[in-house]
Chains A and B, each alone.
Chain A
Amino acid sequence: MKFLRRFFLRLSNLAAARNADQRLQEEIAEHLALQTDENLRAGMSHAEARRQAAVKLGAAQAIREQHHAEQSLPFLENLSHDLKYAARMLVRSPGFAFIAIATMALGIGATSAIYSVIDATLLHPLPFPSPSELVRVEDDLSGVGAQGVGISIPEWKDLQSSGIFQSLAITGTGANVNLTGAAQPLRLSFKQVTPNYFAILGVNPQLGRTFDPLDPTPGYNLEVVISDGLWRREFGADPRILGKALRLDNDVYHVVGVMPRGFRDQGTTSDEQNVELWLGAGFAGLPFPPPRRSFRLASRAVLARLEPRLSVAAAQERLDALTASLKKQYPADYPPQVNWTVRLIPLSESVVGSIRQSLMLLFGAVGLVLLISCVNVANLLLARASVRGREIAVRQALGAQRTRLIRQFLAESLLLFLLGGIAGFGLLFCTGHFLLRLVPESLPHLNAIGVNWGVLGFALAVSVAAGTVFGLAPAWLMSRSDLIGTLRQEGRGSSGSRERSRARQVLVISELALSLVLMVVAGLLLRSFWDLFQVQPGFNPDRVMAIQTWLPGPNDPSADIYRTATQESVLLREILRRSRTLPGVEEAAIGDVAALPLGHNHGDLNPLPLLREGVETMDNQAPIIDSPIVSPEYFHLLGMPLLRGRLFNDRDLEDTPRVAIINQAAARTWWPNQDPLGKHVRLRLDSREPSSPTGPAWTTIIGVISDARTESLSDVAIPQIYRSVYQHPAKNVAIFLRGPLDPSAISAQVRAQVQSIDAELPVFHAVTLDEVLSASLSVRRFSMEMVAFFAATALLLAGLGIYGTISYLVNEQSREIAIRLALGAQRSNILRMVLRRGLVLSAAGAGLGVAGALVVSHLMSGLLYGVSPNDLSTFATVTVVLATVALAASYIPALRAMRLDPITTLHSE
């Protein structure tokens, strides 16, 4: 404590030190004057009076110094001296300073850029009170290979009363709803939530109220909370919005509240994050299906707030116990083979989820670039040591302590790294806008990414840490110079110690190794990306556009004019007929959003239990399968060839036997070594379909189509069972058009046609399948481009490094080379001698690098597609490229050595 107090006192003295010293000086002068006056009065001569006064006072200078030493911090003072000196040294060699600072600016700027992304996505706390208590609850049926199947209402009630959670909310995952009544029907993203939703998040509205957490309404409570964006855009920020009636899917809701400006729903999909309407609902009454224990919907998510001070792990443990006892209590609902489990995922994690691995890869890559730039600067610092050998020796000869010298060199490198860090941050700050455009839109928290104080702090911290670590070794080596030897040499250039040149070679080798690692990573990612890009998706996206509409689903099913497939087919057939008349349209088809290849979210899928005749008897034992709904033209339009059986036709209607088409993967998985044609299956009813007392009818498999990568380009095939839209109604309708279309005009044309049939239908999201395809690769493309950029930077830096080292070696040996030449050595021999040096260095670097790259490539094998982590051709190509660059970089100094003029060289020494 006492030490600390003294330290701060002295620290504050530092600022006042000049004042105090000045005052001391003034007072002493004043004292001397007064004493001299006194002595004069006593009758002394003028000179004697002064002398006596001085004697009486004592050694004034010593007093001043002692006072100074007592009151100040010599360390900080020395530091400021060192920094001033370092700044002068940098100004004196601007070329060196520029290169070193630019290198560091590149390294630290790139690292800070990636850090700013990570800061916003992985490190940012959620904008809710006590965010660590917030979790998502996910149900899995791992026994039938299904994840995130949603929760049933009885299960939700069990969890509510379990004592593990303060509260749980069921929510949708973002869905469409039509807002009608204005000039143009609007499709909005909404989320139905249990009334306790906002209470769990702990967010209050800026206007009005949210839902009453205890509202017991089983269906929709007909209250709606709207987002700030919608309020401003559609209602002109009307302060009297509360109580206003909105017609949503033909039902009337009343606005009760407006959420604050910054509030965004936390979701994994952009649909979910852009939710603009929240509807309160109990999920237990119409239009929701009756609550049954094993009835789950994948489009339901659960958000919960844990009891305070309960860790996620502890909560999970108690939850596991609860699920075990529920399984015992309701054995019929939880057959052991489906293996029902409930997982807790911290909300912060569920939002970033899959992106983490890619970001960590980028951070690792950029870390390597930083390391290489540091090594490069350390190398430059060592090179300067040889130039400054004489200065160091003179200072040592004059009595400078070694620690003092090290401290001074450290100050120099710190200054250099700090300037580099600041320059890097400045660069990032200026180019931030431009860089942000490279970030894929699918990245969560995209809006939160920014160059802020945290990033500045990070840049400075990294600079200081790197400056200390990478400044220490050169400083230590520099301070060890051989005093006598250096001073005895008459020329300015001293041959550096052997140790120093060995250190430089080690640095260059590590630099080469690191850049090889980075290049291998980039190469492998490039190969993966290329393979994915080249992969045959199994469908033909060429010249195809998809345009969506949403058929309203009012809460009272009997008010739904598109309730049955027969009712809906009138509309769909008319849409298809009119679409075919549009300019450029050659083919048209209809599907639901799940049928939109690569363009749908998990929540859009409608996975249903597949009961095979004679195999499964109960819904809850059946495997889960994706079941898109399509019109007969769909397969031909997307170029998905029929392998066996037949496609749907216009005679497959609601009152004819149910038929379905499966893909090869489904045939392989569920009917191995059998002919699936003619097999009967039962798919549990969609919640939207009118239920019949006898349960779903048998569906006959009539055809097998070839596999297509409709779920993800990297998955070869996922079982699918297609049903006909004329037998099963769909709300989330996508219109597929093929032909030489004009993407900018087609949306308006389709809208006009659709709305001339039903003026209340919105038309939105017109995309070409090529765009969808490319968007599905956006995160991969982003990380590949970034890593490739980093690898190129690393290669450049490594090239500069080896160039510098070889030039330095040539300089150092110029005398020796000159003598050899004078004695008649062949110039080609000299060239070969220098090149051999470069070759040895790059061979060592490549060897180390290959070993490192093997480790790294295995660590990132999860990010690779279609290429082995030990891919020989990638490794070979990268090694050759690196060796070529290294040789080219050593060729320039080698040429210089070869062309050395022995006479001038020997004279100048």
Chain B
Amino acid sequence: MREKPDVLQGTLALMVLKTLDVLGPQHGWGIARRIEQISGDLLAVNQGTLYPLLLKLEHEGSIASEWGASENNRRARFYRLTASGRKQLQAEAREWEQTAAIIARFFKIKAEDLA
């Protein structure tokens, strides 16, 4: 039995994994910025909450990290997706799409369709 993560956290984890999947290895700040960029102002994420999440994902083995140098030559920790993380991403993406599709169908429905 997997614990059902609360929506926000689960969503954030998915975003992190997807970001790493698309962009390759990134440091924490980079991930935060990408998420902000992509979601625009719609998502007011406290950037600080990202780091406990990164630690947790790493502990679970979905991502791995190593030291590297950032663009302006600062020492920074770079995160990359692991094989099991990629699998998790695919599974969760599928799950998410299913959920979204179901919800979408509910929203499309009109009274006469059920007559």
Chain A residues near B (Cβ < 8 Å): 2, 20, 23-24, 26-28, 30-31, 33-35, 37-38, 56-60, 63, 66-67, 70
Contact = CB atoms under 8 A, between A and B. Distances in A.
B48 A60 contact: yes
B110 interface: no
B39 interface: no
Contacts of B33: 38
Contact of A58 (B46, B75, B76): B46
B28 A31 contact: yes
B23 to A, nearest CB: 16
A355 to B, nearest CB: 55
Contacts of B72: 37
A31 B54 contact: no
A31 B29 contact: yes
Nearest to B33: A38
A67 B29 contact: no
A130 B22 CA distance: 64
B32 interface: yes
A63 B49 contact: yes
Given A2-B3, A24-B55, A30 B77 contact: yes
Contacts of A37: 72
The 3 closest A-B pairs by CB, nearest first: A58-B46, A58-B48, A34-B29
Given A24-B55, A67-B55, A31 B1 contact: no
Given A34-B76, A56-B47, A57-B48, 13 more contacts: A2-B1, A23-B55, A23-B77, A27-B28, A30-B74, A31-B29, A34-B27, A58-B46, A58-B48, A60-B48, A63-B51, A63-B52, A67-B52
Nearest to A66: B52
Contacts, number: 57
B11 interface: no
B88 interface: no
B84 interface: no
Interface in B21-58: 27-29, 32-33, 46-49, 51-52, 54-55
B35 to A, nearest CB: 12
A543 to B, nearest CB: 85
Nearest to A25: B51
B99 interface: no
A34 B70 contact: yes
Contacts of B29: 30-31, 34-35
A27 B77 contact: yes
Contacts of B52: 24, 63, 66-67, 70
26 contacts: A2-B3, A23-B55, A23-B77, A24-B55, A27-B54, A28-B51, A30-B75, A30-B76, A31-B29, A33-B74, A35-B29, A35-B47, A37-B72, A38-B33, A57-B46, A57-B47, A57-B48, A58-B47, A58-B48, A59-B48, A60-B48, A63-B46, A63-B48, A63-B52, A67-B51, A67-B55
Given A37-B72, A58-B48, A31 B32 contact: yes
B10 to A, nearest CB: 15
Nearest to A9: B59
Nearest to B51: A27
A60 B51 CA distance: 10
* Chain B contact patch, size range: 20 to 34
Nearest to A63: B48
B47 A20 contact: no
Nearest to B46: A58
Nearest to A28: B51
A34 B74 contact: yes
A66 B76 CA distance: 24
A37 B29 CA distance: 11
Nearest to B36: A56
Contacts of B51: 24, 27-28, 31, 63, 67
Contacts of A23: 55, 77
A66 B28 CA distance: 19
Contacts of B55: 20, 23-24, 67
B55 to A, nearest CB: 6
Q: Is the interface of A mostly helix, strand, loop or mixed?
A: helix
A66 B33 CA distance: 23
B48 A28 contact: yes
Interface string B64-105: 000000101011110000000000000000000000000000
Given A2-B3, A24-B55, A67-B55, A31 B77 contact: no
B16 to A, nearest CB: 14
A28 B76 CA distance: 11
Contacts of A24: 51-52, 55
A209 B3 CA distance: 63
A70 B76 CA distance: 25
Contacts of B54: 27
A19 to B, nearest CB: 10
A51 to B, nearest CB: 14
Contacts of A56: 47
Nearest to A23: B55
Most buried by B among A26, A28, A30, A59: A30
Most buried by A among B32, B52, B76: B52
A58 B46 CA distance: 6
Contacts of B76: 30, 34
A57 B28 CA distance: 12
A2 B52 CA distance: 21
Contacts of A58: 46-49
B76 to A, nearest CB: 6
Most buried by A among B3, B47, B48, B54: B48
A37 B54 CA distance: 22
Contacts of A31: 28-29, 32, 47, 51
A697 B76 CA distance: 111
Nearest to A56: B47
Nearest to A20: B55
A373 to B, nearest CB: 47
A34 B75 CA distance: 11
B44 to A, nearest CB: 10
A35 B74 CA distance: 12
Contacts of B46: 57-58, 63
Contacts of A20: 55
A609 B97 CA distance: 98
A70 to B, nearest CB: 8
Nearest to B32: A31
A59 B46 CA distance: 9
Most buried by A among B3, B29, B33, B46: B29
A510 B62 CA distance: 62
A30 B49 contact: no
A899 to B, nearest CB: 67
Contacts of B70: 34
A31 to B, nearest CB: 5
A718 to B, nearest CB: 74
Contacts of A66: 52
A90 to B, nearest CB: 37
A2 B1 CA distance: 8
A26 B46 CA distance: 18
Contacts of B47: 31, 35, 56-58
Contacts of A33: 74
Contacts of A35: 29, 47
Contacts of B48: 28, 57-60, 63
A24 to B, nearest CB: 6
Contacts of B74: 30, 33-34
A567 B76 CA distance: 107
A560 B52 CA distance: 95
A715 to B, nearest CB: 71
Contacts of B1: 2
A350 to B, nearest CB: 54
A171 B53 CA distance: 75
Contacts of A30: 27-29, 74-77
Contacts of A26: 77
B2 to A, nearest CB: 9
A70 B28 CA distance: 21
Contacts of A60: 48
Nearest to A12: B59
